[in-house]
């Protein structure tokens, strides 16, 4: 029977990530849900067509009582979300411990202080146990939702064990795993004590994706060197079983930004900001307040620029918006104080009675504020020390069709591989180099700005979040068909 349905039925996509896209706060018997800021959420909000999506994850809150779990499940269910409930001890060992104290720094090439590293080493076994336990909880939640034919897409370093739990129960399930951070060189990865178990668990997935070809290559060499399996152009092969490994560079939903710029609320905000910063060029940084984002390094570069370019001192303002994250962790508290100290010093040194050179905010901006500030900015300064991709650079480009502003971008952000032709690439550790790039950006001719922006805009509007998800899921479907054909041969 060769009759095909006229329309392809919508495929169900179960997105599994550590955090749901919303944070929940309890208000008596009710729940207040708020959209959270972060790269994964931004990208997946752009994936709205072609799939019937359900999002499975932790709501970021401990709900020990049955009634609370029931009411939260109902509130989230109305938004297409399914909660995973984790107790405080698990969160501490799995999330704060193994995920954020071990994997996050390792994957971003951040050496922990010796003492912390020793402490982490001592508790590693119990943290890894909690990690596996938490991943099993996610797998139970997937099972409660799963229907035959669904695609299960696991996200990020929190859920490297999940493909194994899923496949153990149902080897026919279509399982993909995507990493949002860099995957480090195998020389770094192989210092992880439980390195083999984690790799083997990920390799049970049908398709493994990274932002860049380099990360995929690092992963394949970690597998070949540590597990002794074979690396092929397709991925990793072990005793005839191929796991496909490939690069799928993420994108944003550019239309959401372009359309927002036409709304009254954003337009009036743009006018307000223009009036406020009149007569000065505006430079912008938007980051989560995390060590990987290189905020202190970028402030030092700006300070150097002001030191060396007296004529610019009252002609430029640097707006740095830094959303606090993981505020209960000592390292992050120290980073916050360090940033405040540098901002204070620079404003003290170069401020006047009427103005200061840095406008620093420790908070998240509403979407319309973010669009407006992107639109009025002359130079965006993104100096991540390591970053899987960096979507702020994409969002900035999407909002710059009028102004054709300049993007200064770290060569250690995955985005450097896609926006490199239009951006000024810098080594964030080289403060003099970044300071010179600031000068180049502020004085760049209009024709060069236009040309650079054209490259970047073309990329951002063609490599969208929707295209990213479509490509990943369609490759996952194909991978499974190919594997079936191979077993028939």
Torsion over CA: 437, 442, 443, 449 (sign): positive
Question: Would you list the DSSP string of 103-156?
Answer: IHHHHTTPPPPHHHHHHHHHTHHHHHHHHHHHHHHHHHHHHHH--TT-EEEEES
Nearer to ligand ADQ, 284 or 480 (CB): 284
Nearer to ligand ADQ, 86 or 380 (CB): 380
The closest of 144, 134, 25 to 85, measured between CA atoms, is 134
177-216 residues near ligand ADQ, rule: CB under 6 A: 180-181
Among 35, 37, 242, 442, binds ligand ADQ (CB under 6 A): 37
x/- site string to ligand ADQ, residues 285 to 304, per CB under 6 A?
-xxx----------------
Distance of CA 243 to the CA centre of its chain: 24
Alpha helix ranges (H) inside 295-384: 295-308, 330-350, 367-376
With binding defined as CB under 6 A, does residue 253 bind ligand ADQ? no
What distance in Å separates the CA atoms of residue 25 and residue 4, rounded to the nearest whole number?
A: 47
Instruction: Tell me the window of 78-86, 133-141, 225-233, 385-393 that interacts with ligand ADQ (CB under 6 A).
Output: 385-393
Nearer to ligand ADQ, 42 or 437 (CB): 42
What distance in Å separates the CA atoms of residue 461 and residue 48, rounded to the nearest whole number?
A: 16
The distance of closest approach from Cβ of residue 383 to ligand ADQ in the complex, given in angstroms and rounded to an integer, is 12
With binding defined as CB under 6 A, does residue 63 bind ligand ADQ? no
With binding defined as CB under 6 A, does residue 391 bind ligand ADQ? yes
The distance of closest approach from Cβ of residue 157 to ligand ADQ in the complex, given in angstroms and rounded to an integer, is 10
Nearer to ligand ADQ, 156 or 206 (CB): 156
With binding defined as CB under 6 A, does residue 395 bind ligand ADQ? yes
The distance of closest approach from Cβ of residue 67 to ligand ADQ in the complex, given in angstroms and rounded to an integer, is 33
The distance of closest approach from Cβ of residue 428 to ligand ADQ in the complex, given in angstroms and rounded to an integer, is 14
With binding defined as CB under 6 A, does residue 397 bind ligand ADQ? no
Nearer to ligand ADQ, 245 or 382 (CB): 382
What distance in Å separates the CA atoms of residue 220 and residue 243, rounded to the nearest whole number?
A: 10
Among 141, 250, 295, 406, binds ligand ADQ (CB under 6 A): 250
x/- site string to ligand ADQ, residues 341 to 370, per CB under 6 A?
-----------------------xx----x
Instruction: Tell me the window of 117-125, 282-290, 297-305, 438-446 that interacts with ligand ADQ (CB under 6 A).
Output: 282-290
Among 112, 247, 265, 323, binds ligand ADQ (CB under 6 A): 323
Nearer to ligand ADQ, 303 or 387 (CB): 387
Asked if 59 contacts 32 with a C-beta cutoff of 8 angstroms, the reply is: no
CA-CA-CA-CA dihedral for 312, 317, 318, 321, to nearest 10: 180
Asked if 379 contacts 437 with a C-beta cutoff of 8 angstroms, the reply is: no
With binding defined as CB under 6 A, does residue 389 bind ligand ADQ? yes
Closest residue to ligand ADQ, judged by C-beta, is: 39
Nearer to ligand ADQ, 42 or 101 (CB): 42
The distance of closest approach from Cβ of residue 121 to ligand ADQ in the complex, given in angstroms and rounded to an integer, is 25
Among 17, 33, 43, 436, binds ligand ADQ (CB under 6 A): 43
With binding defined as CB under 6 A, does residue 377 bind ligand ADQ? no
Among 82, 192, 199, 321, binds ligand ADQ (CB under 6 A): 321
The phi, psi pair for 37, rounded to 5°, reads -85, 140
Residue 214, sorted as left (phi over 0), alpha (psi -120 to 50) or beta, turns out to be alpha
The distance of closest approach from Cβ of residue 481 to ligand ADQ in the complex, given in angstroms and rounded to an integer, is 27
Torsion over CA: 27, 332, 386, 209 (sign): negative
Helix (H) or strand (E) holding 254: helix 254-260
CA distance to 81, 136, 194, 295, 483, per residue, from 161 (Å) = 21, 8, 12, 32, 22
With binding defined as CB under 6 A, does residue 246 bind ligand ADQ? no
Nearer to ligand ADQ, 139 or 418 (CB): 418
The distance of closest approach from Cβ of residue 43 to ligand ADQ in the complex, given in angstroms and rounded to an integer, is 5
CA distance to 96, 118, 325, per residue, from 101 (Å) = 6, 12, 14
With binding defined as CB under 6 A, does residue 392 bind ligand ADQ? yes
With binding defined as CB under 6 A, does residue 59 bind ligand ADQ? no
Task: Count CB neighbours of 339 within 10 A.
Answer: 19
Tell me how long the chain is: 489
What would the two tokens of residue 458 be?
Answer: 């073309």
Task: Count CB neighbours of 275 within 10 A.
Answer: 8
The phi, psi pair for 481, rounded to 5°, reads -60, -45
With binding defined as CB under 6 A, does residue 390 bind ligand ADQ? yes
Q: Which residues bind ligand ADQ (CB under 6 A)?
A: 37-40, 42-43, 180-181, 250, 286-288, 321, 323, 364-365, 370, 387-392, 395
């Amino acid at each position: 029977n060769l009759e095909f349905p006229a329309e392809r039925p919508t495929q169900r996509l179960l997105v599994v990530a550590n955090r749901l896209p919303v944070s929940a706060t309890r208000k008596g018997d009710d729940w207040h849900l708020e959209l959270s800021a972060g790269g994964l959420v931004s990208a997946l909000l752009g994936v709205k067509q072609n799939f019937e999506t359900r999002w499975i994850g932790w709501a970021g809150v401990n709900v020990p009582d049955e009634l609370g779990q029931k009411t939260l499940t109902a509130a989230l269910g109305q938004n297409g979300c399914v909660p995973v409930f984790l107790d405080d001890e698990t969160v501490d060992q799995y999330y704060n411990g193994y995920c954020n104290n071990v994997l996050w720094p390792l994957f971003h090439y951040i050496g922990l202080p010796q003492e912390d590293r020793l402490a982490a080493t001592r508790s590693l076994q119990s943290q890894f146990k909690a990690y596996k336990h938490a991943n099993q909880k996610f797998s139970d939640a997937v099972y409660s939702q799963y229907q035959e034919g669904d695609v299960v897409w696991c996200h990020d370093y929190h859920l490297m064990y999940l493909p194994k739990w899923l496949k153990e129960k149902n080897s026919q399930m279509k399982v993909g795993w995507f990493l949002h951070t860099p995957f480090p060189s195998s020389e770094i990865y192989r210092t992880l004590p439980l390195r083999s178990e984690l790799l083997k668990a990920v390799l049970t997935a049908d398709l493994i994706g990274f932002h860049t070809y380099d990360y995929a290559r690092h992963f394949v060499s970690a597998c070949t060197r540590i597990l002794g399996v074979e690396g092929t152009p397709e991925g990793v092969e072990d005793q005839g079983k191929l796991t496909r490994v490939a690069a799928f560079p993420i994108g944003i939903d550019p239309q959401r930004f372009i359309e927002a710029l036409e709304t009254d609320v954003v337009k009036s905000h743009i006018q307000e900001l223009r009036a406020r910063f009149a007569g000065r060029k505006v430079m912008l940084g938007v980051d989560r307040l995390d060590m990987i984002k290189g905020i202190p390094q970028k402030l030092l570069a700006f300070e150097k620029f002001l030191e060396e370019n007296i004529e610019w001192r009252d002609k430029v303002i640097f707006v740095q918006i830094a959303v606090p994250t993981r505020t209960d962790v000592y390292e992050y508290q120290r980073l916050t104080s360090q940033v405040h100290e540098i901002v204070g010093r620079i404003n003290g040194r170069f401020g006047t009675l009427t103005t200061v050179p840095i406008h620093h905010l420790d908070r998240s901006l509403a979407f319309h504020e973010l669009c407006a500030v992107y639109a009025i900015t002359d130079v965006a300064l993104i100096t991540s020390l390591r970053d899987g991709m960096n979507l702020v650079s994409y969002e900035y480009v999407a909002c710059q069709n009028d102004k054709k502003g300049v993007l200064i971008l770290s060569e250690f952000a995955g985005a450097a591989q896609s926006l490199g032709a239009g951006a000024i690439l810098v080594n964030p550790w080289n403060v003099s180099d970044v300071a010179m790039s600031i000068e180049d950006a502020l004085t760049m001719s209009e024709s060069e700005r236009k040309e650079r922006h054209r490259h970047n805009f073309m990329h951002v509007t063609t490599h969208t979040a929707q295209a990213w998800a479509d490509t990943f899921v369609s490759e996952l479907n194909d991978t499974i068909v190919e594997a079936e054909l191979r077993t028939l041969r």
